[in-house]
Amino acid sequence: MRQLTFLLLAAALVVMPSTLAFAWGDNGHIAVNHAAAANIPSSMPGFLKAADSHITFLGPEPDRWRSNLEKPLNDAQAPDHFIDLEYVDWMKTLPADRYRFIAAVYEYRAKHPEANLPQPERIGFQPYITIEVFDRLKVAFREYRHAKAEGRSTADAEADAIFYAGWLGHYVGDGSNPMHTSIQYNGWTGPNPKGYSTAHDVHSKMETHFVNANPEVTKIDGLLVAPRHLAHPFEDYLGYLRASQGEIEHAYQLERDCGFEGHGTPESRDFIRQRLAAGAQMLLDMWYTAWVDSAEDPEAWHGEKREPRQCVTPKATAGGQR
């Protein structure tokens, strides 16, 4: 029975769509979260820096949800790990709302059937899950501020903020990997005059096997600088994703030149180090922005204004029937 179970799981992995490939593997995601936590400034609440080990643990968390043993969860969140930006080049700007994005894609598909544009979930929702978790973190920070100001326990708000900060790190880390921003996510497709690999092992070779074989590329704490406040978090994050997409051909050039075999080359090791550092820096910037922006309270909700309704007591019918 155990052997049969193993064979069935192995078969499932073979047929699993390549869009479900994990980003960076555990070691890369751990490095991104750890480096960001190591650089939290003193102007942010101390509980976050003190939670370094748990935030680091949470780096790979959403990849732990990617199993057919929890298929509904796996299917629901798989598109959150990537966005193939080439498919949305026709959009001048991406809407900041996930559902407006979905509606816009379906509208374009209806008007341009010749474009063969994939369904939204095949394009990916990467920037949307990122901004949604960012907003959750901001709310948790706000609750922490309120609890502290009112002399209440901050423990619950701290627990929420730590989880959201770690969870956010996974998606920001995904975004630093060029193969999570492009249709060229696992083997070159389309015209290929430069002879890039079309094999479906490029993704895991670069982000997992190479990183695991060269742990020095995850030593990125010293590459970060003081965090900056993002004036427009969603637009700034899209710029980050497009910069990552701009590195896709560089990644394939390195792979073609055996840069991800064994210990690779100085250039390939530096490439991975810089990509991981870019993810950690953006994560730190988003944590800092969420903290600064949490000082602003939303406008209080006073309920809907409505006219009082005159209620008429129904007359009793014979026999008490209705």
Tokens encoding 319: 């026999």
User: pLDDT at position 8, please?
Assistant: 34
Residues in contact with 74: Cβ distance below 8 Å, sequence separation at least 6, in sequence order: 20, 65, 66, 67, 68
Structural domains in the chain, CATH included, are: 32-83+127-188+196-296 (1.10.575.10)
Question: pTM, whole model, 2 decimals?
Answer: 0.88
pLDDT in tens, 38-68: 999 999 999 999 999 999 999 999 999 999 9
Residues 278, 25: Cα–Cα separation, whole Å: 17
User: pLDDT at position 312, please?
Assistant: 76
User: pLDDT at position 24, please?
Assistant: 78
Residues 252, 240: Cα–Cα separation, whole Å: 20
Residues 199, 158: Cα–Cα separation, whole Å: 45
Q: Using alpha carbons only, how large is the chain's radius of gyration in Å?
A: 24
**Which residue positions in the chain have pLDDT lower than 70?**
1-23, 302, 315-322
User: pLDDT at position 22, please?
Assistant: 56
User: pLDDT at position 313, please?
Assistant: 72
User: pLDDT at position 74, please?
Assistant: 95
Are 272 and 210 in contact, with CB atoms under 8 Å apart? yes
User: pLDDT at position 104, please?
Assistant: 98
User: pLDDT at position 125, please?
Assistant: 98
Helices of type H across the chain: 2-15, 25-38, 46-50, 52-57, 61-64, 71-77, 98-111, 120-123, 126-149, 155-176, 202-204, 210-213, 233-245, 248-256, 266-293
User: pLDDT at position 17, please?
Assistant: 39
Residues 103, 88: Cα–Cα separation, whole Å: 13
Q: What does each C-alpha distance from 67 to 10, 64, 87, 199 come to in angstroms?
A: 12, 7, 27, 24
Count of other CB atoms within 10 angstroms of residue 222: 9
